[in-house]
Amino acid sequence: MLEVTGIPTFEDIEKVYPSEERLNQGPTVIMECFQNIPCNPCYTACRTGAIKPFEDINHLPTVDHDLCNGCSLCVSNCPGLAIVVLDMTYSEDQALLKIPYEFLPLPEVGQWVKGLDREGKVVCDVKVVKVIDSKALDKTPIISLALDKQYAKVVRNIRLEE
């Protein structure tokens, strides 16, 4: 399905997720990068060594989730918008999801927006809790969203209008 539609399957996604144990320890990166293309800014952006050196620039990134602190530098540097950071420890019933967002206008802190799945379907309402506008640095802005934990692995984008 990934090759045909560009949308990863459940099996594709499971391969890049850290363990539940790691997810429950704090924020960590999720790299949904599935295409072998010559690209490595995620690696060059990472300051903790969590993203391993590429033996071949066409290889997919490999991550040591135990070295990732969830800083999201790789999120804003990825040209493929393939990376998010997920924090399942945000609160008892809510997760914090940091996503890259290329559209304008940017949402505002405190705004409720529609959470979309990987196919662009609305799945829930999510609250914007932080906006990092890094366009001036030629990087992708990052939107931090608070959302019900049951949608944390499903939501990958937002829509501002009804």
Q: Which residues bind ligand SF4 (CB under 6 A)?
A: 29, 31, 33, 39-42, 45-46, 48, 50-51, 61, 68-74, 78, 80, 82-83, 85
- Cα dihedral 121→132→16→119 (10° resolution): 10
Query: H helices of the chain, where?
Result: 2-5, 10-16, 20-23, 41-45, 73-77
For residue 24, the tally of other CB atoms under 10 A from its CB is: 10
User: 25: exposed, middle or buried (C-beta count within 10 Å: 0-12, 13-18, 19+)?
Assistant: middle
Q: How far is the CB of 22 from ligand SF4 (least distance, A)?
A: 12
Nearer to ligand SF4 by Cβ, of 15 and 121: the residue is 15
Tokens read off for 114 = 């529609």
Nearer to ligand SF4 by Cβ, of 50 and 96: the residue is 50
Q: What is the bridge-based pairing of β-strands 94-100 and 142-148?
A: antiparallel
Nearer to ligand SF4 by Cβ, of 70 and 117: the residue is 70
| Residue 11 backbone dihedrals phi, psi, to 5 degrees | -65, -40
Q: How far is the CB of 112 from ligand SF4 (least distance, A)?
A: 26
Q: How far is the CB of 44 from ligand SF4 (least distance, A)?
A: 9
Q: How far is the CB of 73 from ligand SF4 (least distance, A)?
A: 4
Nearer to ligand SF4 by Cβ, of 52 and 114: the residue is 52
Nearer to ligand SF4 by Cβ, of 47 and 121: the residue is 47
Q: How far is the CB of 93 from ligand SF4 (least distance, A)?
A: 24
